Structure 1
Amino acid sequence: MEYSEVVTSRRSVHQYADEDLPAEVVESIFERVRYAPSSYNLQPWEFLVLTEGENRAALREAANGQEHVTDAPVAVVVLGNKDPAAHAEAVFDDWVAKGYLPNNDARDAVMENVAAMSELPAEERRVWTVRSTTIAATELMNAAWDQGVATCPIGGFDPEAVVEAFDIDGSQYEPVMLVTMGYPADEAADVDRERKYRRSVDEIVHFDEFDPAASTESPAAAETPASSDD
């Protein structure tokens, strides 16, 4: 697909076809995801891909029983590493090798900045990794749809239950999001169906000065004539 078609036709899908998602398709999707941008290019994301029924059942329990977690052939736990320095050496060695940094002294200076980030309070580091990892999760959903694979992001889950169910080090990793993946059931991702309401560019974009938008009136309500009692 063209990029514009991907972003305008993608839907969050709860109904999936009774069809497995081949491993090579999953891997090709993540081959694109790894190019997602991140702060300092530190790439703090990890993805736990669940294909076994018992694992998706355990995830469904941690996700408040949401049925599409098990209806989809694949569910992904999107994890963010809360240590900014976890992959910094490899990243900045590459910067030097490719000329993005002039020498090792410059590399060491950048490493010091990242090391200081690693000493920030836990909540600040959690926010840092959520910002970058959410970008990768968005890339995942768009990359999947480009191959005809439907997805649905899930924010309603118990992160502590996810950490416990899959033996994840919660002090190191933040469960940022869950994403279900699979080929959509018939008409579940109907690209010709009218899109749900989206706020306008004029309402969400502010040039040079921030003027908060007022609460949006329901489009349906706006079209309904006022009663005689008003």
Structure 2
Amino acid sequence: MTTATKDLYTLMSERKSVRKYDPTFKMTQAELEEILALATSAPSSSNLQSWRFIVFQDEATKKELRAIANDQEQVETASAVIAVIGDSDMYKNVEKIAAQNVAEGHMDENQKNTMINNAMNLYPYAPAELRRNIASFDAGLISMQIMLIAKEKGYDTVPMAGFDMAKFAERFELPEHHHPIALIAIGKAVAPAYGTSRMPVKDIARFI
């Protein structure tokens, strides 16, 4: 980051949901990988990082995806579409994650074993719906980070939940424990987003 980097509040204010993109502008895979890598600093339940991604750049595949996504134009015209997937079997990666925590100096062996034991005593026995809800919650956290990081880098985004999730899972051969949650179009805007209002805090929060 440089001193020219915009502050967080400015980015939050300037990030808008853009639906008109320059179809000739193409982001590189390296740029998209960097955005995803930075976004993984997001918190997740028990640090199990239940998010997965499919990144669509191929023009023919984006055209096919557009049909699954209720014919939303931005799916085809944006530089890429990031599908955010939730993994409800996230606990199966706990040993790998815990070992990496030790290797990077974040915990010792005792803490690693505690993390593994806690996860394996809880998540395998939790109802499938609960694990799916946890994965959806984690996906929401990282999705916002993706959009803010993209804006800081000069790109525009729009999140979409309006797509046929069953058709998506079938077409892109998702395993049973992977659940499509959102699509994020990303690229360069050719028209500004609509301005939107927000309800005042007094109407949405109760302090007790």
Question: What is the TM-score when the length of structure 1 is the normalising length?
Answer: 0.80
Structure 2 unaligned blocks of 5 or more: 1-5
> Structure 1 residues 71 and 121, CA, compared in 2 at 3 Å: closer, same or farther?
same
Q: Match for residue 65 of structure 1?
A: 71
Q: Provide the C-alpha distance between the structure 2 equivalents of 1:99 and 1:33, rounded to a whole number of angstroms.
A: 21
- Once the two structures are TM-superposed, the CA of residue 91 in structure 1 deviates from its matched residue by 2.1
Distance of aligned partners of 1:108 and 1:31 in 2 relative to their CA distance in 1, 3 Å threshold: closer
Q: Over residues 75-110 of structure 1, what are the superposed CA-to-partner deviations in whole Å (9 max), with x where a residue is unaligned?
A: 111111111313211222244455654543x43333
Find 2:116's aligned residue among 92, 111, 116. Answer: 111
Partners of 1:205 and 1:118 lie apart in 2 by: 36
2:9 equivalent to 1:4: yes
Candidates 144, 159, 184, aligned match of 1:138: 144
CA contact (8 A) 1:21 1:183 kept: no
In the alignment, the residues of structure 1 paired with residue 103 and residue 192 of structure 2 have an alpha-carbon distance, to the nearest angstrom, of 47
Q: Which residue of 2 aligns with 1:181?
A: 186
Q: 2:129 aligns with which of 105, 111, 123?
A: 123
CA deviation after TM superposition for structure 1 residue 159, in Å: 1.0
CA contact under 8 A between 1:153 and 1:178: conserved in structure 2? yes
Name 1:199's counterpart in structure 2.
Answer: 199
Residue 38 of structure 2 is aligned to residue 32 of structure 1 = yes
Query: Partner of 1:168: helix, strand, or coil?
Result: coil
Does the 8 Å contact 1:84/1:114 carry over to 2? no
Q: If you compute each CA radius of gyration, which structure gives the higher value, 1 or 2?
A: 1
Q: Which has the higher helix share?
A: 2
1:142 to 1:99, Cα distance in 2 relative to 1, 3 A: same
The answer (yes or no) to whether the contact 1:84–1:118 under 8 Å persists in 2 is no
Aligned residue pairs total 201
Distance 2:103 2:55 in 1: 33
For the residues of structure 2 that align with 1:103 and 1:88, how far apart are their CA atoms?
A: 14
Find 2:83's aligned residue among 56, 77, 81: 77
Matched, 1:168 2:177: no
CA distance in 2, matches of 1:97, 1:77: 30
Matched, 1:157 2:155: no
For residues 48 and 206 of structure 2, what CA distance do their matches in structure 1 show?
A: 30
1:44-68: CA deviation from partner (whole Å, max 9, x where unpaired): 1111000011211221121111121
Structure scoring higher RCO (CA < 8 A, sep ≥ 6) equals: 2
In 1, the alpha carbon distance for the partners of 2:106 and 2:55 equals 33
Assess, with a 3 A threshold, how the Cα gap between structure 1 residues 144 and 121 changes in structure 2: closer, same or farther: same
Secondary structure at the aligned position of 2:90 is classed as: coil
Work out the CA distance in 2 between the residues paired with 1:95 and 1:69. 37
- The 2-side partners of 1:176 and 1:36 are apart by 17
Which amino acid counterpart does residue 83 of structure 1 have in structure 2? D
- Unpaired runs of 5+ residues, structure 1, are 209-230
Q: Confirm or deny: 8 A CA contact 1:79 1:176 kept in the other structure.
A: yes
Q: What percentage of aligned pairs have identical amino acids?
A: 28
Q: How far apart in 2 are the matches of 1:110 and 1:35?
A: 19
